[in-house]
Structure 1
Amino acid sequence: MTTTTAAAALVLEDGRIFRGTAYGAVGQTLGEAVFCTAMTGYQETLTDPSYHRQIVVATAPQIGNTGWNDEDDESQQIWVAGYAVRDPARRHSNWRATGSLPEQLEQQSVVGIAGIDTRAVVRHLRSRGSMKAGIFSGAALAEPAELLARVTGQPSMIGADLAGEVSTDEIYTVEPEGEPRFTVVAVDLGIKSNTPRMFAQRGMRVHVVPSSTSLDKIVELKPDGTFLSNGPGDPATADTAVALTQGLLDKGLPLFGICFGNQILGRALGRGTYKMKFGHRGINIPVVEHETGRVSITAQNHGFALEGERGEQFDTPFGKAEVSHVCANDGTVEGVRLVDGRAFSVQYHPEAAAGPHDAAYLFDRFAGLMKGA
């Protein structure tokens, strides 16, 4: 079943219920309700491992127009826990499409809901904050009190250690385009497919390794630089990744991090993290680089952030560090770096797919760092 008139309900932790129809698989799903303001790129959003255990509410009113294709996935599967949309396309139309969005949701057992007032949901989440939620349809529907009990009984995103659940099980290699220039070891905390491609386009051979990989194993691969990927969950739980990062810094290896990797580098440098009220999820978020004043329009997906203020410098066991980037909208930390330049990270996605390419230069910056080293 790809289209249905079966009743469905989106139930929020505070008791608010939005009723619509089933979309994709029929049944029950639980997760954290968040919203994404991107007007395009629903396939990339759904397959981004950073959305693991989250029910994504699409703010774009119509979803599914271009169907589903075999080229734009950011991983091997859909990772969102559930999907909530207002007006699903009745028919998809795109020359690259190999099927429809609801077909794909059903095939991968992703429970969704359609026909709800997503504007009202987003206004509610902006005022109350992201919260536990569930989507229920078919036999999973029950009395409101029972549905609410299921929602509130699930684990919180605070304290959730999820990177290991989305990481690769084995090391794999993405070969460079053209003549090899550098070797990069990328620690997979929930890496998106486009990231190794961006490295490969710049002549970098990328060994993608599981999140549990030891420092000794990484050193055996003889990298010119190391990379910490995006990923889901609470960075305060990622002690293993933090210890690994500190070991990499001790070795003096050039290091670059994105999104969750920014939080891990920040923690390795002694900074704390906190849960944001409703996070940043979209593809038009302005970020200011402190040193140059340069503003980039960026793609983002994070519900946690580092503590700090624009331009703040602080001492670490690895030398002086600073907050290098902040969000122009609300001042959230969007990047940190060692002042000597050998390690840096950003909270946003310079590999953006879908999204703007303003920040793609950071991959060239990393290449320059390895060349200098």
Structure 2
Amino acid sequence: MGVVIAMEEGKTPQGLIKPIVDLTRADMQRVNQLILSKAGSDVEMIPEVANHLISSGGKRLRPMLTLASAALFGAIGDGHIKLATSVEFMHTATLLHDDVVDESDLRRGKSTARIIWGNQASVLVGDFLLGQAFRLMVDVGSLDALDVLSAAACVIAEGEVLQLSVAKNMETTEDDYLSVIRAKTASLFAAAAEVGPIVAGAGKANRAAMKSYGMNLGLAFQLVDDALDYGGKAADLGKNVGDDFREGKITLPVILAYRRGTEDERAFWRESIEGGASDDQRLERALGLIHRYGALTDTIARAVHYGTIARDALAPLPASPLKSALLDVIDFCIGRVN
């Protein structure tokens, strides 16, 4: 039950991300070397757990945003390398913590660290990576960059707690949901994009443009992720289709289908999400209701809306291959649903 997004002829999601991958390749090699170096420890379990997730095949889109936005404004030296590494460590730490909170078994098609090493190791190694992220920020010596990334760390944690407060509550509104994903996902995208112009010495207008780009790109990215859980394929997701349903997560496709359904259908959602009755048969009915009420289509429409705002944020910047690559990233994020 996939959702089809119209895309420019001849372009695929992988083709759309290739320009930013190519333009940041040399710097990403430096980032990857720094990641391996800073993930090391004399405590053997730390690099084992960290490298399990770090080497599991993620695209590293967030640090690429830092590198691309820094290059866009002419950054020199190695500050952007350290900040990009900080961003990736922050992201990896949140994944380790998320998998514990969500009791997830799979991440990118592999067993999660908590399944292999346990919850305690996952949380503590996540804390270690956050510590390394902040050490790298201090090394850069930019109070503005430190302020942006440390504020993002606080907001991400607030988003986690907010998600707990609305978990398995079918009265959660779309505004509540957007507050969660703005904090949990979009805030790190925004910070990753904003610290690039900071370390390049760009002015406030350029910082604001990149922050807006990152924030709205992050919203679009998470909306598509949540649509994929009901409209994607397990091979593409790196987890099982319907995992959000089984875990009782309140995402936009569920909110829309619940609001638009009959009283009997709303009772089904309450029993499934709030009551934990989420077997395969109920998942099939949930997929049917989401399809019936156009919840996936409208979730993707929201993603397209935020993608348009991200595109407009870059509009005043002069044309360049880096700007084009950043625009392609928007289409990549949205085009993952196919």
Using structure 1 for the length normalisation, give the TM-score: 0.24
Report the structure, 1 or 2, having the larger helix content.
2
Report the structure, 1 or 2, having the larger strand content.
1
Q: Which has the higher contact order (CA 8 A, sep 6+)?
A: 2
Using structure 2 for the length normalisation, give the TM-score: 0.26
